[in-house]
Amino acid sequence: MAQAEAQDHGLHGHAEPAQAMAHAEGQQHPIKLYLVVWGWLFILSACSYAVDYFEVQGYLRWGLILTFMMLKAGLIVAVFMHMAWERLALVYVIIVPPLVILVFVAIMVIESRYTEVIRALSFGVGP
């Protein structure tokens, strides 16, 4: 462990080209992979546009929009941004904090429902 750390520091100091080479080995993927993901992003975008074009309504609409959105976001982060090949230490630092936004969403949903009711009661316009 100590030895590995010493090497770590050694490399950190004066071996930048070696580091670059290491990265070149680490993030080499066939071009075909990017083209396939690109194709899927086109298909998924076309699908979400179709949801609007064919005027799908209600829960089905929201479900489809969210599904296509998450699939697109997942593909971009995992393949284009190389998250699928990073170590978990980095992946969790980046992916976990945004999930806290969902708590914020829940708070604001309650808050805006309350505001809406107060507005309806005070100004007499029904929701």
Q: Which of residues 28-87 bind another protein (CB under 8 A)?
A: 28-29, 31, 34-35, 37-38, 41-42, 45, 48-49, 51-53, 55, 62, 65-66, 68-69, 72-73, 76-77, 79-82, 85-87
Q: Which of 26, 8, 12 is nearest to 82 (CA)?
A: 26
Smallest gap from Cβ 22 to another protein, in A, equals 5
Question: Distance between CA atoms of 17 and 23, rounded to whole angstroms?
Answer: 10
> Total number of residues binding another protein (CB under 8 A)?
74
- Using CB under 8 A as the binding rule, the residues of this chain from 105 to 124 that contact another protein are 105, 108-109, 111-113, 115-116, 119-120, 123
Q: Which of 19, 18, 37 is nearest to 79 (CA)?
A: 37
Residue 30 Rama label (left phi>0; alpha psi -120 to 50; beta): beta
CA angle 75/80/85 to nearest 5° reads 90
Q: Please identify which residue in 13, 14, 59, 89 interacts with another protein, judged by CB under 8 A.
A: 89
Smallest gap from Cβ 85 to another protein, in A, equals 5
